[in-house]
Structure 1
Amino acid sequence: MTDTAASIGTSTVAAALASSRPDEIAAARRILVRDGLLGEQTHVSYFGLLEQDKRTLLADGARPEARRFRAMLVDFASGASHDVVVCPAEDRIVSALELDPAEGQVPVVLAEFGLVEEIVHQDERWLAAMRKRGLTDLSTLRVNPLSAGVLAPDEAGRRIQRCFTFVQKTPDDLGWAHPVDGVTVMVDVVTREVLDVIDYVELPVPQEDGNFHLADWVGKPQRTGLKPIEITQPQGPSFSIDDDGVLSWAGWQLQVSFDQREGLVFHNISIADDGVQRPVVYRASIAEMMVPYGDPSPQRWFQNFFDCGEYLLGGFANSLELGCDCVGDITYLDATLADNAGNVRVIPQAICIHEEDTGILWKHFDNWNGSSDSRRNRRLVVSFFVTVGNYDYGFYWYFSLDGNIELEVKATGVVFTSAYPGAGYAYASELAPGLGAPYHQHLFSARLDMAVDGPVNAVDELEAVLVPRGPANPTGTGITQTVTRLRTEKEAQRLADNARGRVWLVSNPGVQNRLGRDVGYVLYPEGKPALLADEQSDIHQRATYAAKHLWVTAYEPDELYPAGDFVNMHPGGAGLPAWTAADRAVDGTDIVLWHTFGLTHFPRIEDWPIMPVDSAGFVLKPHGFFGANPTLDIPETTSDHCAPGGSHHEQHSGEHAALGHEGHH
């Protein structure tokens, strides 16, 4: 499989994994309608490629199967949901499973957002709660539908949104500045009825505006003195990309595709070494993102959002603008998805691809031989941005000259607000007079289907250790690194520990480097807090994946989402905890890494009214993968601002050589 996995330029494998095409979406819709699964009251919640099992796709001599697509449907007339597999090329429905609503619902559809406000505005109990607070102008009252979390026994089987209310004073006003806290509304979006209105507490509605987007709002002159920074590539970019999304750059080769749930998806990431494409990762994506809020008050206990599993993060991708969202010589790709009616929906310029200079790659001035050499680093950037409710997230995948793969998630937008109950409140910050922001986390799960020089991989946990004082370490200064093989799925459920420098090495026991050691890549975690919730809590049961920084599982093609396929209103236990209960072997087999990372956010005054970017991510670095520094072939920079090897170089060398000799004396 190694040779095949590296050869993604071949039309068969690349075409099998490419993003959905408009003709495939249109054909699938026609089949769903013809076979009675998609009617006037049915909404397409999710539509995306159902990838072929890589064991058959990449087998020697195999030909890809006809492409199949997965559709999740919800009928608002009956409440029934279906999980359907359709094959446009064969003009048929492959399977259609009606879901048990007690085991979760298909993700939220856009139609529910507007529907909820219409229903709530007609409910006398909610109207009374608003009148009690002096709020009578319905045109200013925005109802914010939220995923319901775990249902109470009397709610079981229903499709519910729990709702908060905000005041939007004018059409241009930032409604997040004025939460009507203490009132929660439960709405059944199928029966179109308000099940309950619970008025827990009456708190003043914050009055200070937060209209950062209005030109005259800041109240002071704009800052001056910032001169333009121009980024140009007169000869164009150094990468190329074909019609199937196969991207080639500086030895890297990878296939770019886009999914409504995960957003960017990469296949067959490989890097050239002495003219040979060596695979590193078969498939990489963000498989889940969850935002648990830490305010346990009665009106907020349920506030936990799964932006992938409940809201389908990729479908909220922005259309990016040159000079604002992306700067430089930019190549854009559109995202082709299906809308809630099953028709083709194109998000123009959803994906941004460019190169950027990242400073020094390596540098050394040698005191003995007088040489002075440096090389500049650059990286390939593939990114997209989404807006999910109040928050905006940028996902930036970096591929560097030295073989590093990095993901940086940039969180910005508007924090979720509440009324601030008073000084010393333990679960929220005060951002403006009377305006609070509950403490919360942003916890992502990167699914990394590893293929380090082939499909047979293993994982070791590496840690820095102080060697105890003794005959082998009489001075007490010896340090070493321990290596612990993670052999089963239960052993491979791990937390990061920065005090020990804990990292995870993915190696191939069947391929050795020139020193006779297994080739590998190391996952470097940031080591920030995992899920901060009690093990018996509802959110821990639903988002068990987030309680560990690392999980390792044996590859199975239908194990894609760490919290399960149907997260919306699921009682918990699906995904990684269910799969790993079998405790399969992960030592020397085809494995998938699941890495949890993210932010624990205690909002600051400076995060209001719009939050400066805060970042989280991870790095994969080659570790014994190459025979030496893989960037020794990078040429010197030859711009007007850098003149290596000339009189400046000689003078520089002579001065520092003299200083070096003085130091030795």
Structure 2
Amino acid sequence: MIATHPLAPMTADEYRATREAVRAAGLLGETTRFAYVGLEEPPKPDVLAHRDGDPVPRAARAFLIDVHTGQSDDVVVDLTAGRVARRHRLDPRTDGQVPILDEDFAKADELVHADPQWQAAMARRGLTDLSLVRACPLTAGSFGLDGEDGRRMVRVLAFVQEHPKDLAWAHPVDGVVAYVDLIEGAVLSVVDAAGHPVPAETGDYDDPAVRGPERTTLRPIEITQPEGVSFTLDGHRLQWEGWSLRVGFDAREGLVLHQIDVQDRPVVYRASIAEMVVPYGDPAPARFFQTYFDNGEYLIGKFANSLELGCDCLGEIVYLDATVADDHGEPRVIRNAVCIHEEDFGVLWKHTDIFSGSAQTRRQRRLVISFFCTVGNYDYGFYWYLYLDGTIEFEAKLTGVVWTAAHPGPGHPYATEVAPGLAAPAHQHLFSARLDMTVDGTTNAVDEIDVRGLPVGPDNPYGNAIVRDVTRLRRESQADRLAAPEKGRVWRIANPGVRNRLGQETAYVLHPQPGPTLLADGSTTLARRAAFATRHLWVTAYDPAERYPAGDFVNQHPGGAGLPAFRAADRDIDGTDIVLWHTFGPTHFPRPEDWPVMPVERCGFTLRPYGFFDRNPTLDIPAPTAGDHCHAGGRYEH
């Protein structure tokens, strides 16, 4: 299949062509693996200048590693010319490591099971049948520990799975962690700290004895659209009620939305969740290292679920497949990876007028574009919503199984006991949304807006005045900001060159969902590696090479890459092409109610038009018809 647009997702043929170009360049040996392959997107000006029928140059980026020597390369393949156009050899001491491979999990499992130190640690806990012990390889981080500099490593914890349907997370083997060198194929050391008994209570929520009898009181809810959906999908171009965008998918970022326009006016050029860091807050010797960059270290898109109608999505659904590359650079198709559908969302606007007698109600509706992925114990849903009134919203849904350890007893400050002897450590989930803005074009600026009340004075004799303080962020050095819920702080992205009928700059406003930023001490390597998570907002000048908030190679990177490095240029961001980076997410002290499987927790943010339209843009929405049951009837009981 030949791509007809510069931003079309890579096809299976293009993955194969990438592999062939790498082979032809002499970079593909028997022990070479592809840690990542994705579309190398053209610069924004080139894409914006593209017109239907124009030539479509295509390129791919690949991270290669020789699993025998550890040598890693960052290459760009010109798919149009069929050759490697750029190659950069990585220095793991300064550049970090390429992401984890699928085969690394099996390799680490095999190594620890064969290691005498690890076997002895299991035996000291009475675990003699090692076939029941599940090794859990985890990214190693960067802590400056002796002998680790430059090594490609994982750290391996363990859980017991007593039978094939048993929930292994219910039985952590506390206090034991193996440090594994993936290139040497060796267990470097085994930390065997003072441990506690393996928790015994089952967590198998499929077991009727655990979940109890199923409810019989829930009546069916059916969502139907007898005339079909209101959106159209042409390849990956999606149109709905004045909205137009392109739906993309990447192994690292998962769902990516391109060129989001409303009423033929641009709003966002590119929107994605570019990184997510999950730092745990238990300093125990076997757990201090637990911090996961799910995008940059694991590649969340590779773990996308194949969604099922009636389970993951309700109503009239359109699915898109996603194609990613496996460890050998071969294409792998994830069926039904992206779900697209419409949802009723309650009242859009309503008024009963006391003078005219007019009584009007309109229903809100939203278009939903989503995918779900499973990364280890957690499951994440990524949902983008487009609304009839021009609002854009993102929501992450967090579910799955909380991480577990043995609970040492009352007074333990770093975790919650969720079952007898079973602890769930405190942790954070901090997402970074990359929002490449184009509000009415590429000339944008950001205002920070706070609200405050004025004191009693000559102009405010009754003390009821409320004003806004508006501060324009003019340079990158001024634009790493914290949310301030006590001030109602929002950030307005305006186009200084475009005015509405009232003479105001057209704009969208970012409404954050405030919460703690990264809580790790600022002196730590974690704080240097996850510096993006120390602020709720960063604003940078557009640069096509600046894609990831923690840098290109997050795995075992010593820190300082990504947003701190971008910000150091201190470029002008007042009335130019800009990118917003928004950090959000929960700090989670788990509850007993989160065990054995966690009800969804939600977090996200909203982009709302502010002076972008001249008036309410939904005045043309028709009133609900009798068929929609908009009347004063209903069931009455007394």
Same fold, TM-score > 0.5, yes or no: yes
Cα separation, 2, equivalents of 1:515 and 1:394: 40
Contact kept in structure 2, 1:320 and 1:326, CA below 8 Å = yes
Which residue of the other structure, out of 7, 17, 23, is the alignment partner of 2:13?
23
Structure 2 counterpart of 1:4:
none
Q: Deviations over 1:321-356 (max 9, x none)?
A: 000000100000000111111111000000000000
> Which of 67, 73, 85 is the matching residue for 1:76?
67
Deviation at 1:120, TM superposition (A): 0.4
Kept in 1: contact 2:5–2:56 (CA 8 A): no
Residue correspondence of structure 1 range 478-489 to structure 2 within 5 A: 478-489=465-476
Q: Which amino acid aligns with 1:111?
A: E
The answer for the alignment partner of 2:134 in structure 1 is: 142
| Letter in structure 2 aligned against 1:436 | A
CA 80–521 in structure 1, closer or farther in 2 if over 3 Å, else same: same
Q: 2: distance between equivalents of 1:433 and 1:78?
A: 46
User: 2-side partners of 1:213 and 1:581: how far apart?
Assistant: 52
Whether 1:166 and 2:159 are equivalent positions in the alignment is yes
What residue identity is the alignment partner of 1:377? Q
Q: Which residue of 2 aligns with 1:186?
A: 179
Residue 130 (str. 1) matches residue 117 (str. 2)? no
- Indicate how the Cα distance of structure 1 residues 157 and 511 shifts in structure 2: closer, same or farther if over 3 A, else same: same
Aligned to 1:608: 595
Q: Output the amino acid matched with 2:73.
A: H
Structure 1 residue identity aligned to 2:183: V
Structure 2 partner of 1:546 = 533
1:307 corresponds to 2:298: no
Give 1:507 deviation, angstroms: 0.1
Give distance in 1, aligned partners of 2:30 and 2:292.
29
2:26 corresponds to which residue?
36
Letter in 2 for 1:379: R
2 CA distance for matches of 1:492 and 1:610? 39
Q: Distance in 1 between matches of 2:55 and 2:426?
A: 48
Closer/same/farther in 2, CA of residues 453 and 159 from structure 1, 3 Å limit: same
**Partner amino acid for 1:626?**
F
The aligned residue for residue 431 of structure 1 is 418
Of 199, 203, 221, the match for 1:210: 203
Unaligned runs of 5+ in 1: 1-11, 650-665
Q: Residue type matched to 2:328 in 1?
A: A
Over 4 Å off, 4+ runs:
60-65
Residue identity over aligned pairs, in percent, reads 58
- Please tell me the root mean square deviation across aligned C-alpha atoms, in Å: 1.6
Map 1:158-307; keep pairs closer than 5 Å.
Answer: 158-214=151-207, 216-218=208-210, 220-243=212-235, 245-272=236-263, 277-307=264-294
Q: State TM-score, norm by structure 1.
A: 0.93
Corresponding residue pairs, total:
630
1:36: how far off? 2.1
Distance 1:59 1:211, change over 3 A: same
Shift of residue 582, structure 1, vs aligned partner: 1.6
Asked if residue 86 in structure 1 is aligned to residue 77 in structure 2, the reply is yes
Q: Pick from 579, 586, 593: which aligns with 1:592?
A: 579
Question: 1:351-391, CA deviations, whole angstroms, 9 ceiling, x for partnerless residues?
Answer: 00000000000000011111100100100000000000000
What is the aligned partner in structure 1 of residue 636 from structure 2?
A: none
Equivalent residue for 2:325? 338
Deviation at 1:642, TM superposition (A): 3.4
> Does residue 104 of structure 2 align to residue 112 of structure 1?
yes
- What TM-score comes out, normalization by structure 2 length? 0.97
Alpha-carbon deviations, 1:425-451, whole Å to 9, x = none?
010000001100110000000000000
Instruction: Report if the CA contact (8 A) 2:477-2:567 is conserved.
Output: yes
CA shift in 2, pair 1:16/1:224, >3 Å? same
Question: Alignment partner of 1:56: what SS?
Answer: helix
Indicate conservation of the 8 Å contact 1:361/1:374, yes or no: yes
Structure 1 counterpart SS, 2:567 = helix
Pair 1:610–1:61, CA change in 2 (3 A) = closer
1:61 Cα deviation from its structure 2 partner = 8.0
Which residue type is aligned with residue 37 of structure 2? F
**Cα distance, 1:41 vs structure 2:** 1.2
Give the 3-state SS of the residue equivalent to 1:28 in structure 2. helix
In structure 1, C-alpha distance between the alignment counterparts of 2:104 and 2:212, rounded to whole Å = 40
Matched, 1:54 2:44: yes
1:13 Cα shift?
Answer: 10
Matched-pair contact (CA < 8 Å) for 2:512–2:605? yes
- Closer, same or farther: CA 461–219 of 1 in aligned 2, 3 Å: closer
Determine the C-alpha separation between the residues in 2 that align with 1:65 and 1:302.
Answer: 45
Determine the structure 2 residue equivalent to 1:414: 401
Q: Partners in 1 of 2:38 and 2:3 — Cα distance?
A: 17
Gaps of 5+ in 2: 634-638
Alignment of 1:305-384 (within 5 A): 305-384=292-371
**Counterpart contact for 2:105–2:137, Cα < 8 Å:** yes
Matches within 5 A, 1:563-582: 563-582=550-569
